[in-house]
Chain A
Amino acid sequence: MKRVVITGAGTINALGHSVAETMQAMKDGHCGIGPLDFRDVDRLSIKIGGQVIGFETEGLFNRQQMALYDRFTQFTLMAAKEAIDQAGIVFSGELAARSGVVLGTAGGGVSTWDDNYRSVYEDGKNRVHPFVVPKLMNNAAASHVSMEYNLKGPSFTVSTACASSNHAMAQAFTMVQSGMAPAMVTGGSESMLCFGGVKAWEGLRVMSKDACRPFSLGRNGMVQGEGAGIFVFEEFEHAKKRGAEILCEVIGYAMSSDASDIVMPSKQGAERAIAGALRNAKLNSDEVGYINAHGTGTAANDKTECAAVAGVFGPHADRLMISSTKSMHGHLIGGTGAVELLACIMAVRDGVIAPTIGYEEPDPECALDVVPNEARDADVSVALSNAFAFGGLNAVLAIRRI
């Protein structure tokens, strides 16, 4: 079995257009959630979100590329560039032939669906642009990354709702760990902040109209975000030989399925994923110092997640820190695990724990150290990242300081 390290990271989300900006915002406890700005927002009852602002495609992509890139692909390419530039890796020859890209997204090109449905249904047009299908397909982002960086190995897209990125990164991890691929580009992206995307979510009545307050008494739901997080996972010796800067080591993961309900979370399913990740990474539970929670800010998720953490860690649950950065960047759905892994990297590499902001009052059903409102300095060598998706599909990753 090979050791797997992260040698590049990139992101764009409501907190920043780079990893440095995002981590600084997390340290500052900055809230990236604000009023949504897009067509027909006045017809929505949910009017807030973690929207990426100040993102100009002018000069980044040419006209032909713009005709093919949905916003979720644009985000992916921005983040991939940052990650691959940082890794300083050039894919050619045998390295290119064996390295691939595995990404997560729940919705793919949601705004492309939305714009074109609007055009044919509302505007009564009978013809759509020829690139609608290659633009909206869920694997478009992965394919464009593979084309841009000459990645010719195993490449595909994983779609497991809110756990998509974690499932994708778990796949990439096993490919590098097993020796199948020397390096993999992985992570995820989502862009559902358009009229149809938010309208669909409104239907479930799980969205907050004012703020995402995970673990806080009186929390009233999730807030959507958008963006991407992309990483370069690389075999340790390969990275060392190149003299690459190593951000952290990925040491294990687990996936589980609740096999119970299409939307309600399960304590047992979450416990099995967390405990499985500890076993897979050969960790004692007391080695874990920080967990980036799924922490959606819904009544059901947060208490179930806390119960699962308490169940797995026992007395150590009261000593570890667990925070939800969704309070700051919103829930990036299929891209969320990727952006949240940045908080885990910041914990083990920089010794800074991102806070759960918007925290007002303790909830006895969430009685853990949720790092309320202010970032904290702490010496943490191992962190977990939880993702528990609609459909009961769970994936938990473990990373370690190196």
Chain B
Amino acid sequence: MSIQDRVIEIIAEQAVLEPSDVTPDSTLEDLGIDSLGLVECIFAIEEEFDISVPFNANEPTKSDFDISNVKSIVNGIKELMVEKT
């Protein structure tokens, strides 16, 4: 499974949606994921990809990790995975 499919699966589960309802352009807000849900998503992503996501719930927009939509999250994960290797 591609990174994007794995991320969509995580986000869909959090939003209680089918993966087919989540597209690369979906924002977490569109999907009805609130701040607690976002923190759970980040946790699930860290577990899935064995990375550490620089995200502070106090300043979600100031983090280096761009969470504006699914695509930006996937790109952020790719960068972190490159940094790790």
Chain A interface residues toward B at CB < 8 A: 63, 67, 127, 129-131
Contact = CB atoms under 8 A, between A and B. Distances in A.
B83 interface: no
Nearest to A128: B43
A127 B40 contact: no
Interface in B24-60: 36, 39-40, 42-43, 46-47, 52
A127 B46 contact: yes
Contacts of A131: 36, 40
Contacts of A63: 16
Contacts of A129: 40, 43
A67 B43 contact: no
B39 A127 contact: no
**Secondary structure of the B side of the interface?**
helix
Q: A-side binding surface: helix, strand, loop or mixed?
A: loop
Interface of B: 16, 36, 39-40, 42-43, 46-47, 52
A127 B47 CA distance: 8
A130 B36 contact: yes
Contacts of B42: 130
A130 B47 contact: no
Contacts of B39: 130
Contacts of B43: 127, 129-130
B67 to A, nearest CB: 15
15 contacts: A63-B16, A67-B40, A127-B43, A127-B46, A127-B47, A127-B52, A129-B40, A129-B43, A130-B36, A130-B39, A130-B40, A130-B42, A130-B43, A131-B36, A131-B40
Contacts of B47: 127
B71 to A, nearest CB: 23
Nearest to B57: A130
Given A127-B43, A127-B47, A130-B42, 12 more contacts: A63-B16, A67-B40, A127-B46, A127-B52, A129-B40, A129-B43, A130-B36, A130-B39, A130-B40, A130-B43, A131-B36, A131-B40
Contacts of A130: 36, 39-40, 42-43
Nearest to B43: A130
A63 B14 CA distance: 9
Contacts of B46: 127
Nearest to A68: B36
A156 B16 CA distance: 32
A125 to B, nearest CB: 9
A130 B52 CA distance: 14
A225 to B, nearest CB: 33
A127 B49 CA distance: 13
B31 to A, nearest CB: 14
B40 to A, nearest CB: 6
A131 B43 CA distance: 10
Nearest to A134: B36
A129 B46 CA distance: 10
A67 B36 CA distance: 11
A124 to B, nearest CB: 13
A63 B12 CA distance: 13
A1 to B, nearest CB: 43
